[in-house]
Amino acid sequence: MRKASRGFILLAVFLLAQQLGFAQLHKFRPGINLFTPEQDIELGKEAAGEIGKQVEIVNNKELTDYVASIGKRLAAQPQAGQYPYSFQVVNDPSINAFALPGGPTFVHTGLILAVDNEAQLAGVLAHEIVHVALRHGTNQASKANLIQLPALLASSTLGSGSMLAQLGQLGIGIGANSVLLKFSRTAETQADLLGAQIAAQAGYNPIEMARFFEKLEKEGGARGPQFFSDHPNPGNRMQAITDEIRYIPQKTYDFNTGQLARMKAIAQKLPPPKKAVAQAAPVTPMSIPDSRPSKRLQQYSGNGFRLSYPENWKPITGRDEAGVMIAPAAGVLQSQSGVNVGYGIVLDYYRPDNSNAGLREATEEFVSRLKSAHPGMRTAAGLRDTRVGGKKAVVTTLYSESIFQGQTEVDRLLTVSHPNGILYVVFVSPQSEAQYANKVFDRIIRSMRFSF
C-alpha cells in the first residue's frame, strides 16, 4: 500500500512538471556589459568595415538577398531585439558564420553548401542572432576589461570611426581568438536554446539546428572545426537543444522558400576566393622601437590641464574625464588586472586620506600607495621641489619591473597641488630608453598648463 501511494505522488509531480513545461522555456538576460547598445552598433559597424577588407564578400544579389531574407525573418522575432541586422555572404569554403556586435552577420559559402535544408541554415543564423541580441561579444570584452574599459568607453575622444582603434589598445579586436567573436560555453548554450526558439517562431523546425551541429561534429576533421572553434560545444549540445524544444509550443514548421538548391548552385559556381581568408589583425605586439615617442608633439586638453604629447601616442581618457593615459599601442600590455603601461604617460588626480595634507605629504602618501600596488617598486631618492606651469610641483623617480622582459622600468613622478589633493603624472619608460624618453618627457613637462 505504501509503495502504491509513493508511486502516485511521484507521477503527480512528474505530470505537474510537464504541465509547467511552457513556463520553463529558457529566458536569458544579457550579462554584465559596459558598452551601451549604441556602442555595440557603432563597434559592429567599424568592425564590419574591417572584415570587408579581410574577406571576399560575395557580390551576387540573388544569393545575398536569399540569406538576408531568412536572416530578416529571424531577426523580426522579439528575442532578436532592436538591432540593425544585416546579412552578407563571404566567399570562403570553410563552414562558418559569425556575427559582430550590433548585428552585422556573415555567412560563409561553405556553410550554405554544407546544410541539408533551409531550416539548418536558419538554425545557424538564429544562433548568431542570439549572440548579437544578448550582446555576448561586448559582454566578454567587458568582463575581461572591467577596470580600464569604463574610462575608455566614456572617453570624449571616442568619436565615430575610432572605437575599434581605441579598443585595439586594450587588445580587443576582430583577430583570431577575439573576445568579440569567440564565445564561452555559457554563451553557446544560450545561443543554441534561444536560437531554437527564434527558429521555431519563424517557422523552421528547430531540431534541424541540432541535427546540423551533430552532422558537423560527426564529420569533424576537415570541415567541422572552423565553426566550433568560435562556437565551442557547451557539452550535450544536441540533448540540450532537444530538451528545450519540448518546451516550445508545438506547431507545424512549414516555412521554406524552396530556394536552397538554386542558391547552392550559385555558391558552387563562384570562383575560388582571391583574397587570403580572414587573416585578422593581431593584437599589437609589445615593441620598444614601435613605442618610442615621436619628437613631434600635439596638444591635449584635459580636465584642468593642457599638455603636449607625442603624435604617435594615443590618449585614452577616464569615465570622469579627469585622468588620461597617453601611450602607444606597442607600449602597453593587456592583462587580467588591466592595461600595464611600459612606455607612456599616466595622468590623474589623487585625493589623500588626510584632506589637509600639503603637496609633499600627499605625494608621499601617493608613493606609498603605488609601492603597495606594485611589489618590487622602489624609490631612488627623495622628493624634489620644482615648479611646473607656474605651480609648485614635486618630482621623484621610482623603479619597477618593466613589461618589456628583462628591463627595469623608470617611472618619473610629477605631482602638482590641486584644491582636492594632487594632480599626478607618471612618465614611464624602460631603462634602456630613459635617456631618449626623458628628453621628450622634459618637453612635455614644459608644455603643461593648469586651470585650477
Options 175-183, 209-217, 398-406, 414-422: segment touching Zn ion (CB under 5 A): 175-183
d(CA 198, CA 71) in angstroms, rounded, equals 11
Options 64-72, 179-187, 329-337, 439-447: segment touching Zn ion (CB under 5 A): 179-187
98 or 427: CB nearest Zn ion: 98
Least Å distance, CB 37 to Zn ion, is 20
* Binding residues among 86-145 for Zn ion as defined by CB under 5 A: none
**From residue 105, how far is each of 40, 83, 234, 426 by CA, in Å?**
13, 11, 22, 43
* Binding residues among 213-232 for Zn ion as defined by CB under 5 A: 231
92 or 192: CB nearest Zn ion: 192
CA angle 452, 416, 400 (to 5 degrees): 145
> Mutual orientation of helices 118-133 and 207-219 as an angle, nearest 10°?
100
Binding status of residue 58 toward Zn ion by CB under 5 A: no
d(CA 115, CA 264) in angstroms, rounded, equals 9
Least Å distance, CB 87 to Zn ion, is 16
91: cell is 566567399
Q: Name the closest residue to Zn ion (Cβ).
A: 231
Least Å distance, CB 140 to Zn ion, is 12
d(CA 170, CA 148) in angstroms, rounded, equals 8
188 or 244: CB nearest Zn ion: 188
Least Å distance, CB 182 to Zn ion, is 9
Options 187-195, 278-286, 315-323, 410-418: segment touching Zn ion (CB under 5 A): 187-195
Please list, in sequence order, all residues whose beta carbon lies within 8 angstroms of the beta carbon of residue 406, skipping any fewer than 6 positions away: none
87 or 183: CB nearest Zn ion: 183
Least Å distance, CB 56 to Zn ion, is 23
Q: Can you say whether the dihedral through the CA atoms of 236, 238, 243, 247 is positive or negative? A: positive
105 or 284: CB nearest Zn ion: 105
Contact 350, 307 (CB under 8 A): no
d(CA 116, CA 135) in angstroms, rounded, equals 29
115 or 191: CB nearest Zn ion: 191
Least Å distance, CB 127 to Zn ion, is 5
Closest C-alpha among 32, 121, 119, 30 to residue 83: 30
- Among 191, 278, 307, 394, indicate the residue that binds Zn ion (CB under 5 A): 191
Give the count of alpha carbons within 13 A of 421, CB side only.
15
Closest C-alpha among 213, 207, 208 to residue 237: 213
Residues interacting with Zn ion, by CB under 5 A? Answer: 183, 188, 191, 231
